[in-house]
Amino acid sequence: MSTPSLLILPGDGIGPEVMAEVRKVISWFGEKRDLNFDVSEDLVGGIAYDTHGTPLTDATMAKAQEVDAVLLGAVGGPKYDTLEFNDKPERGLLRLRKEMDLFSNLRPAQCFDALADFSSLKREVVAGLDIMIIRELTSGIYFGEPRGIFKDGNERVGINTQRYTESEIDRVARSAFELARRRSNKVCSMEKANVMESGVLWREVVQKVHDEDYPDVELSHMYADAGAMQLCRWPKQFDVIVTDNLFGDLLSDAAAMLTGSLGMLPSASLGQPMANGRPKALYEPVHGSAPDIAGQGKANPIACILSFAMALRYSFDQGTEADRLEQAVETVLADGYRTADLLNVEGAAFSTTSEMGDAITAALDASL
């Protein structure tokens, strides 16, 4: 059996720092668990623009299409704010998502017990939280046409189009129901069917998919604004939430802060199965490039490490090893290790990015 392939794209800001800690973990699995990966590395985002004049070269895009999974750090930074829209670092990430057809974005929000007091919500509200938000990633208002800034009489008008087809809604709904069957068998679909025609279609298609193929899964519908309120009031009422691109972006960031820090949250973007049965896949932390702390050893590598854990689970069928890695993270947090973003936990010791990575590999050693 061939060695599974992994393309690493560290990107900008803290991306290279957190990815260096992931490489330690990848090496550990090769050395201690005989789980080896054919790892290659390339550029994306601002550093790709600085080097090649584009946020993603055709050659890198081709590599991403060929490998079993892509692991990305972060893209962007204020130094690129004045670039033309199509040259901005984020366009490289959007191109990856679009051309790989990564329509299903899995964003877990899990609150580790050691960090329950770090959340802005009460401990009893967030302790034990484990929900999954599935965001449709390749359509909706971020991709719809027409779009742009146009002259209308004596003023300019900015236009973006919210557009969804039945098939686009159908396939992301199926991914939500399939995942729910492996969890608590419960899905809440969120849209704005009260004011948006795309929301009406969304609700109709999700209900149809449920009734025809997944009647065993509990399905509820909720307006996205009410969903945001309920996430803050009592998030543990949810298990799997499925929603569109824009609302998924907003709701998953809101859910992120329930856990205490964006630096804790991974994500997976999945597409259709390839010839080898593995899905097209891109894994990345939810946090941004944080250029203000880049190079200072303050970045939290856990989200990027947990993104690799998601790759183990969803791309490489290594659920037991993914559990091992997630447990190592939980152990390290329980032992009091904290990066700068987690420093207001009483009695916590400051850990650099590298020290946190070393502590996690040590916890992996202890798991054997």
d(CA 14, CA 144): 31
Based on the residue annotation, tell me whether 80 is a catalytic residue of this protein.
Answer: no
Catalytic residue among 87, 117, 170, 253: 253
What number of other Cβ atoms are within 10 A of residue 24's Cβ? 16
Q: Positive or negative, the Cα torsion across 146, 151, 154, 155?
A: positive
Based on the residue annotation, tell me whether 101 is a catalytic residue of this protein.
Answer: no
Instruction: Specify whether the CB–CB gap between 64 and 95 falls below 8 A.
Output: no
Q: How far apart are the first and last CA of the chain?
A: 25
Catalytic residue among 12, 49, 68, 142: 142
Catalytic residue among 12, 68, 249, 341: 249
d(CA 305, CA 221): 33
Give the angle subtended at the CA of 103 by the CAs of 59 and 290, to the nearest 5°: 65
Amino acid at 298: K
Catalytic residue among 12, 49, 80, 192: 192
The H or E element containing residue 268 is strand 266-273
Based on the residue annotation, tell me whether 63 is a catalytic residue of this protein.
Answer: no
d(CA 235, CA 110): 11
Instruction: Specify whether the CB–CB gap between 353 and 16 falls below 8 A.
Output: no
C-alpha separations of 98 from 197, 281, 282, 353 in Å = 24, 12, 11, 32
Based on the residue annotation, tell me whether 253 is a catalytic residue of this protein.
Answer: yes
What is the 8-class DSSP label of residue 243? E
Catalytic residue among 117, 170, 213, 225: 225
Based on the residue annotation, tell me whether 142 is a catalytic residue of this protein.
Answer: yes
C-alpha separations of 203 from 51, 164, 166, 169, 195 in Å = 45, 12, 10, 9, 12
Instruction: Specify whether the CB–CB gap between 79 and 43 falls below 8 A.
Output: no
Pairing of strands 266-273, 104-110: antiparallel
C-alpha separations of 181 from 14, 175, 252, 281, 321 in Å = 36, 10, 21, 21, 21
Q: Which two tokens stand for residue 148?
A: 């742009």
Catalytic residues: 142, 192, 225, 249, 253
